Structure 1
Amino acid sequence: MWCGFSKSSAIIAATCLVSTSVLISDSSFAARQRNYTPQQLRAVLHGLGYKVKVSNTPLTDEETKKAIRDFQKGYKLGVDGIAGPKTQDLAADIVQILQANLNVVLKPNPSLPREQFFGPRTEQLIKEYQKKNQLQETGIANLALRQKLNADAKEAIGTPQSPSSPKPTATPTAKPTATPTAKPTATPTAKPTAKPTAKPTVKPTATPTAKPTATPTAAPTATPTTTP
């Protein structure tokens, strides 16, 4: 991803400014030591993701002038395609911020010198950071990488770890071995065994046994015997 401005230059310019906001208040940077040579300036532009070939020829070819203009647009400098003092000062600041962020995140030993030059060791640590984050190992700190590196540096600074602070070395070896062994063993064994066994056994056994046995046996046997 080139930090170019072929689309909305105002939006991209605001985005590019993000890369200069980290660690300025937390780190001290050396002032630009001297003017960049053409080769050194091209190395910086190339290392920051601008499309330019590194050589020591004068900075007058169209490719280099375009890269300088893109850089100036991104950081709201006067756009003239000439690497004047303000352009070189800002380029030096950005490189030093990049180097400081690499020191914070990667903790190289020895630390990367914070200087204005984009040299082989800076490129090497950028590749190391890219490898750590499973990115393509180009050695170029383009805008996307610088923003991610900035975020990682902020996080590392925001959660400092003191080497003298005690850490727990003993882990709990005793685990609770006593578990409740007494469980309720008495369950209700007595169930109602007595069921109503007495049923009405007395049924009416007396049925009418006496039937009328007397029938009229006396029939009129006397007939009138009196005659006239």
Structure 2
Amino acid sequence: MWCDFGKSRAAVALTCLVTASVVISDTAFAIRQRNYTPEEFRAVLKGLGYNVKVTKGPLTDEETKKAITEFQKGYKLTVDGKAGPQTQGFAANIVKILQANLNAVLKPNSLLPRDQFYSSRTEELVKEYQKKHQLEETGIADLKLRQKLDAEVKQIIGQPAAKPTPTPAPTASPSPKPSPKPSPTAKPAVKPTVKPTVKPTAKPTAKPTVKPTAKPTAKPTVKPSPTATPTATPTATPTATPTATPTATP
């Protein structure tokens, strides 16, 4: 059973709706090649994970109608258990997307044709993908496998292609530039605010008041008169009488 798991039905249905919206948005797959034969449609249902045997009889047996009903519920289609145009169109688009994703991830030498048929070649590549991820090789692309495959393709698409990095050409070494002049340092913001306010307030007011008030008024009034020249007359010259020199007696 697919897209209908009891208590988890709402969550699975939401997942199915997301997958369906991707299918619907791809207008290149909007028109299927032709209607399926009963055998081809059963092969698609089985390949997508529904429990049905691939036979050529009409799609009116209970097993096939049940599988169709589950498919319709999962994608919110008109539920009538019949493989009408809407149901066949959704199935065709899902198979085409599966084939494109297998080509993108596995890159086989012979690409799968993006048609609406779950061929033996499609089954082989599904098994190859299961082997790559160490899954059971059933060849059935159930919902879980398709979601894993979708995520892997989105990762591949999201990665930009590697571009060769150009070898950098040798560039001239930059000539040394003069070192920038040091910016003028900040001037000292502190200016002397205190100026010497003390000025000599006292000026010498005292002038020498003592002046010589008295001038010498006395003038020498008396001049020394010349003294009289001594007029003393010479006295008589003494006349000495020679005395006899004493002579020694023998």
Instruction: Give me the whole-angstrom Cα distance separating, in 1, the residues matched to 2:97 and 2:70.
Output: 20
Aligned pairs (5 A) from 1:55-134: 55-134=55-134
In structure 2, give the amino acid aligned to 1:134: Q
Conservation of the 8 A alpha-carbon contact between 2:68 and 2:83: yes
Check the 8 A contact 1:3/1:16 in 2, yes or no: no
Q: Which residue matches 2:159?
A: 159
Q: Mark the CA change 1:26 to 1:55 in structure 2 (over 3 Å): closer, same or farther.
A: closer
Change (3 A) 1:42 1:23: closer
Higher RCO (C-alpha 8 Å, min separation 6): 1
Q: Residues 26 and 107 from structure 1, CA distance in 2 versus in 1: closer, same or farther, beyond 3 angstroms?
A: farther
Cα distance change on mapping 1:28 and 1:111 into 2, 3 Å: farther
* Deviation digits for residues 125-150 of structure 1 (CA, Å, limit 9, x no counterpart): 10000000000000000011000000
Q: CA deviation at 1:6?
A: 4.8
Alpha-carbon distance in 2 for matches of 1:142, 1:108: 21
Q: Which protein shows a greater Rg?
A: 2
SS of residue in 1 equivalent to 2:54:
coil
Quickly say closer, same or farther: Cα 1:13–1:30, change in 2 above 3 A. Answer: closer
Percent identity reads: 65
Contact kept in structure 2, 1:30 and 1:114, CA below 8 Å: no
- The question of whether the paired residues in 2 share the 8 Å contact of 1:42 and 1:64 is answered with yes
Residue 15 of structure 1: how far off its partner (Å): 1.8
CA distance in 2, matches of 1:150, 1:79: 26
Distance 2:26 2:89 in 1: 19
Contact 1:95 1:117 in 2 (8 A): yes
Separation of aligned partners in 2, 1:69 and 1:117: 20
TM-score, normalised with respect to structure 1: 0.67
Q: Helix, strand or coil: the match of 1:123? A: helix
Between the aligned partners of 1:73 and 1:25, the Cα distance in structure 2 is: 19
Partner of 2:11: 11
Give 1:18's aligned amino acid.
V
- Alpha-carbon distance in 2 for matches of 1:37, 1:121: 19
Describe the shift of the 1:106–1:73 C-alpha distance in structure 2 as closer, same or farther (beyond 3 A): same
Output the amino acid matched with 1:39: E
* Paired amino acid for 1:95: V
Q: How does 1:1-228 map to 2 (within 5 A)?
A: 2-8=1-7, 9-22=9-22, 28-29=28-29, 31-161=31-161, 165-166=163-164
Shift in alpha-carbon separation, 1:75–1:149, aligned structure 2, 3 A: same
Structure 1 pair 88/24, CA: closer, same or farther in 2 (3 Å)? Answer: closer
> Does the CA contact (< 8 Å) of 2:32 and 2:92 recur in 1?
yes
Distance 2:56 2:26 in 1: 34
**Cα distance per residue 1:146-194 (max 9 Å; x no partner):** 00000001001111435xx3279xxxxxxxxxxxxxxxxxxxxxxxxxx
Q: Which residue of 1 aligns with 2:184?
A: none
What TM-score, normalized to structure 2? Answer: 0.61
- Deviation of the 1:10 alpha carbon: 3.3
Alignment gaps of 5+ in structure 2: 167-250
Partner Cα separation in structure 2 for residue 85 and residue 40 of structure 1: 14
Distance 1:51 1:4, change over 3 A: farther
Give aligned pairs, total.
Answer: 166
